[in-house]
Structure 1
Amino acid sequence: MKTILAALIATAILAPAANAADRNGAYDVASLQSSTAKTGWLQVLSDGKPAKTKAVQKDISTSPIPRELIAFSENAAPGTIIVDNSDRRLYHVLGNGLAMRYGVSVGRSGFIWTGSNTVSRKAEWPTWNPPQQMRVREARKGHILPVTMKGGINNPLGARAVYLGATIYRIHGTNQPSSIGKAMSSGCIRMANEDVEHLYANVTIGTKVIVRD
């Protein structure tokens, strides 16, 4: 009887732990979130504001604004990417009156821009090379940026990057999805990692990109 009772108690103790570990890798995500919260580079790219953390966050790759397939009547060639700064959305024109719409983060005050260009390069888990002017600017604020940083979960460029011509601007992922739908970047267009992976798979070199007010 004592043996059976001991087994039941052990099962009751271990089961919740096993279930918790199975919930979308909650333990791993919490660990990753803890490490990214300590990374000053994320705060720098959000105008120096500390990244807010929560006790539990299931997925640091999911956008708070779900992507949607929508009716799209604007006159733009299929494949065109249109970034709308005012409503902080990116439209990937599919043709036949349809487009995929994603939530994005755009440049904060003083860093927002408009224009058109083409996709010149694509990279998975890209290396981050902060421009010299950014390093100088942030050094004045006491933020010392790395000259280069290899791709990975702590890298501000996230899982994918789509480079725009010969400019310093990119459409890239982020491990700070709370910035989506806001004007928080240094000029690049941020997307949640799941969304940038989705867009990346459907975009080719030479694709036209329009950034507008």
Structure 2
Amino acid sequence: MRRREFIIGTGSAAIMIGAGAAGAAVPAQLPDYNMPEEFLPREVRIKNDFAPFEIHVDPGQYALYWTLPKKKAIRYSVGIGRTALYEAGEFYVGAKKEWPSWTPTPEMIERDPESYAKYKDGLPGGLNNPLGSRGLYLFQPGRGDTFLRVHGTNEPKTIGRRVSNGCARLVNDQMIELYDRVPMNSRVVLHPILTA
């Protein structure tokens, strides 16, 4: 399926509707990310007996699967957390935000003050915000917000790479489409990085 067919088939996700967070620089239309064919979402058959309507991230394939009934899923290409920062485990969607604001964690600032200290007071939502168009906030029982996210990005070159501080990222238009599918409290599994 070509990108244009995908967008048309999902209600033209590239056109933004509504306002973002206060102060957010929300575009009227997203840029065309010109993703290669292999990075476009597609329906696939899966071998696993995963329950439908869950998110499963396979870091070895740089893939996120939104599971469907009858052993099917929609496969999205993602960028994932750098090896030392990726946290495998089971989570649930505890919050959903459109054009979310972003504040680096104290650990991020400590690891790389040159990159993150200037944002210690936060950055409003918008196209140049690291969380992009949408954010699914990952929680765990007894822990609450883990500060891990499934989120958008306007940097297509980061898809298929280990680049983030532990989160999974999709280009913004694909993230909007996924966000609209995923209800609150959905199960999310970040599978482990397998080593040879």
| TM-score, length of structure 2 as denominator length | 0.74
Q: Which residue of 2 aligns with 1:94?
A: 68
Q: Which residue of 1 aligns with 2:118?
A: 145
Is the counterpart of residue 157 in structure 1 residue 136 in structure 2?
no
Residue 181 of structure 2 is aligned to residue 207 of structure 1 = no
Percent same amino acid at aligned positions? 35
Partners of 1:80 and 1:97 lie apart in 2 by 12
The match for 1:182 is 161
Tell me the CA shift for residue 118 of structure 1: 0.4
Question: Which residue of structure 2 aligns with residue 69 of structure 1?
Answer: 43
Looking at structure 2, the residues matched to 131 and 145 of structure 1 have their Cα atoms a distance apart, in angstroms, of 12
Query: Could you tell me how far apart the structure 2 residues matched to 1:158 and 1:144 are?
Result: 20
C-alpha distance in 2, partners of 1:142/1:157?
Answer: 15
Give SS of 1:134's match: helix
Structure 2 counterpart SS, 1:187: coil
Q: CA RMSD in A?
A: 1.5
Runs of 4+ in 1 over 2 A off after TM superposition: 141-145
1:68–1:101 Cα contact (<8 Å) kept: yes
Aligned amino acid, residue 41 of structure 2: R
The separation in 2 between residues aligned to 1:168 and 1:142, in whole angstroms, is 18
Distance 1:75 1:137, change over 3 A: same
Measured at CA, do residues 76 and 153 of structure 1 come closer, stay the same or move farther in structure 2, by a change above 3 Å?
same
CA distance in 2, matches of 1:149, 1:143: 11
CA separation of 1:197/1:143 partners in 2, compared to 1, >3 Å: closer, same or farther? closer
User: How many equivalent residue pairs?
Assistant: 154
What residue is the counterpart of 1:12 in the other structure? none
Instruction: Work out the CA distance in 2 between the residues paired with 1:189 and 1:131.
Output: 16
Matches for 1:6-17 after TM superposition, within 5 Å: none
Per-residue deviation, 1:137: 2.0
Normalized per residue, which structure has more strand? Answer: 2
Letter paired with 1:127: S
- Report the 3-state secondary structure (helix = DSSP H, G, I; strand = E; otherwise coil) of the residue aligned with 1:204: coil
Other structure's SS at 1:199 match: helix
CA distance in 2, matches of 1:142, 1:113: 22
Residue matched to 1:43: none
Instruction: Return the alpha-carbon distance in structure 2 between the equivalents of residues 137 and 160 of structure 1.
Output: 25
SS at structure 2 position matched to 1:201: helix
Distance 1:142 1:211 in 2: 26
2:77 to 72, 80, 103: 103
Q: Secondary structure at the match of 1:145?
A: helix
Q: CA deviation at 1:143?
A: 5.2
Q: Distance in 1 between matches of 2:115 and 2:180?
A: 38
User: Secondary structure, in 3 states, of the residue corresponding to 1:136?
Assistant: helix
- Structure 2 residue identity aligned to 1:175: N
Greater shift after overlay, 143-152 or 166-175? 143-152
In structure 2, what is the equivalent of residue 5 of structure 1? none
Q: Return the match for 2:91 from 114, 117, 121.
A: 117
Q: Structure 1 regions of 5+ residues with no counterpart?
A: 1-57
Letter in 2 for 1:59: D
Q: Does 1:81 align with 2:55?
A: yes
Q: TM-score, normalization: structure 1?
A: 0.69
Offset of 1:138 from its aligned partner?
A: 1.5
